[in-house]
Amino acid sequence: MTDSLKKIAFVSYDFPEYSIRHVNEMVDHAEVLLLLPEQTSREYLSLLDPRVRFEPFHKPRLRQPARQIVNALKLLRTVYRFDPDVVHVQNGHMYFNMVLPLLRKYPLVMTIHDVRQHLGDTESGHTPQRIMDFGFRRADHVIVHGLSMVDTVVDEIGFRPEQIHVIPLIALGELDSSEPISDDEQSILFFGRIWEYKGLEYLIRAAPKVCSEFPEARIIVAGRGEDMQRYRNGMHDPASFVVLNDWITDQHRSELFARCSMVVLPYIEASQSAVTPIAYAYEKPVIVTRIGGLPDMVDHGKTGLLIPPRDADALADAMLQLLRDRTARIEMGRAGKRKLLQECAPPVVVAQTLEVYRQTIASR
C-alpha cells in the first residue's frame, strides 16, 4: 500500500527548538515545510537540517491586529502553495486560530501544549481562552504530552478519546553534548521563565532548612521573572541564591545543567514541562511536584523524586535526601538519561507523530 504521507506543513508561533528537532527527524520520511517566527528562531537555525523548507515570518505584536491578520493570511497562502498532505499546528495563536477554518481542506493535527492558561502567565492571558479553544476544535486529531491532559481535552474542549494521542515531549538540548558533566553538590537549579505557577516561592521557603545542613549550597534561579523583587524579598538569606534574571542562551543553559547536582520543579500548576527532559539529557535527577503531566516523566526513586505541591517541607526533605547521597543522585541522573533515550529521543517521538498524521489522513 502506498504511503499517503509525502508532504508535511509544520506551523508554530513559538517553540522554535522543539519544532526544529521534530522536523529534522521528519525530513527523512517526507518533504517538510516549517513556518516559524524569524525573531525567535534565529538562535536555533544552526540546528536546522538544510533539507527542510524553512519559511520564516515576522510575528507582529498582539496589539497590531491588522498586521496579525495579514500575517496569518500570508501563512495560509504559503501552506496552500506547498499543498501538504497534513498540517501540524503547535498550540495555535490568537489570530492564526481565527483563520484556521480556511485550512479545512487539509487534515489538521494540533499539539495542545497547555489546555488552559497558567496562573500568573500574563503573556498567555492576553489571548481569550475561547479563541484558543476555537482553534483547538478545528483539529481532526490532537497531541498532548501527558495522560493527565486527556480528560481535560475531552471534558472542556469536546474531543473524543480516539482523537487524542499522548506523545512525550521531544528531547531538547544535545543528547550527546560535549559539555563536561559534573556533580556540583553546591548547585541546585531552578530553570525557566518564572511565572507564579512555577512555584518558586516554595523553593525559597524550603531554602533555610536545606542550607542549615548544607550551608555552602547555592540555589540557582535561571530565567526571566516578571516580579523578581517580590521573590528576592522572600529570601531569608539572599547569599544562598544566585539569581540570573535574564534570557538564558543555549550555551549558558548547557553549562548550568551540566554542572548542577539536581533540578527542581516545584510547580503548583502544570500541563507538562520541557525542563525535565533537559535535566535528563545532562544526567541530572529531578524533584517534581505531583501536578498535571509532570509525574508522567518521573519514575519516583529511580529518575527523581515526586512531592506534593505547595509543600515547602516536603521539597526541602527531597533536596536534602539527594544532597546527602551523591551515589543515589548520580544513578538517578543516569537512569533519567536512559529513560529519555527510550521515550523522548527524536526518532521515538517522531515515529509516533507520523503515525498520528497517517491516522488523521485516513480519518478524512
CATH of the domain at 265: 3.40.50.2000
155 plus 248 within the same structural domain:
no
Mean pLDDT on 191-216 = 94
**Which pLDDT tens digit goes with each residue over 150-178?**
988 999 999 999 999 999 999 988 777 66
Give the pLDDT band of residue 179 (cuts 50, 70, 90): low
Task: Please indicate, yes or no, if residue 194 is contained in any of the structural domains.
Answer: yes
Residue linked to cell 559539555:
179
pLDDT at 180 over 80: no
Q: How far is CA 7 from CA 12, 318, 358, in A?
A: 17, 47, 11
- Residues 287-310 have pLDDT tens digits of 999 998 899 999 999 999 999 999
In a domain, 178, yes or no: no
Question: What would the pLDDT profile of 219-246 be if each residue is shown by its tens digit?
Answer: 999 998 878 888 999 998 999 999 999 9
When pLDDT is averaged across residues 305-327 and rounded to a whole number, the result is 97
Is 247 within the bounds of a domain? yes
Summary mean pLDDT of the chain? 92
**Pure H helices in the chain:** 16-26, 38-41, 65-82, 94-99, 122-125, 129-136, 148-152, 200-213, 228-233, 250-259, 275-281, 312-324, 326-343, 346-363
State which residues form the domain around 197: 184-343
Task: For residues 363 and 355, give the distance between their C-alpha atoms in angstroms, rounded to a whole number.
Answer: 12
Are 214 and 357 in a shared domain?
A: no
Same-domain status, 311 and 231: yes
Residues 354 and 314 in one domain: no
Is 221 among the domain residues?
yes
Are 157 and 263 contained in the same domain? no
What proportion of the chain, given as a percentage, has pLDDT over 70? 96
Residue 246 lies inside a defined structural domain of this protein:
yes
DSSP 8-state secondary structure symbol assigned to residue 296? G
pLDDT at 1 (0 to 100): 38
Bridge partners (DSSP) of residue 230 are none
Confirm whether 177 is domain-assigned: no
What is the reported pLDDT for 126? 63
Same domain, yes or no, for 335 and 353? no
> Mean pLDDT, to the nearest integer, of 175-189?
81
Q: Cell numbers 519516583 label which residue?
A: 300
User: Taking the model in full, what pTM does it have?
Assistant: 0.88
Q: Reduced to 3 states, what is the DSSP secondary structure of residue 139?
A: coil
Share of the chain above pLDDT 90, in %: 73
Structural element, H or E, at residue 138: none
The answer to the question of residue 2 being in a domain is: no
> Is 87 in the same domain as 234?
no
What are 10's strand-pairing partners? 34, 88
Report the pLDDT value the prediction gives residue 218, as an integer from 0 to 100: 96
4-24 pLDDT tens trace: 899 999 999 999 999 999 999
Is residue 116 predicted with pLDDT exceeding 70? no
**Region for 241 from its dihedrals, namely left if φ exceeds 0, alpha if ψ lies in -120 to 50, beta otherwise:** beta
Q: Confirm whether 305 is domain-assigned.
A: yes
Instruction: Give the C-alpha separation, 278 to 285, whole Å.
Output: 11
Q: Are residues 212 and 264 in the same domain?
A: yes
Highest mean pLDDT among 111-120, 144-153, 292-301, 349-358: 349-358
Provide the angle, in degrees to the nearest 10, between the axes of the packed helices 16-26 and 346-363: 80
The whole-angstrom separation of Cα 104 and Cα 108 is: 8
Per residue in 49-74, pLDDT (tens digit) is 999 999 999 988 877 888 999 999 99
- Do 198 and 165 fall within a single domain? no
Q: How many angstroms separate the CA atoms of 260 and 1, rounded?
A: 51
Asked if residue 138 and residue 213 are part of one domain, the reply reads no
Total number of domains constituting the chain: 2
* Tens digit of each residue's pLDDT (9 = 90 or more) over 251-283: 899 999 999 999 999 999 887 888 999 999 999
150 and 60 within one domain? yes
- Co-location of 190 and 328 in the same domain: yes
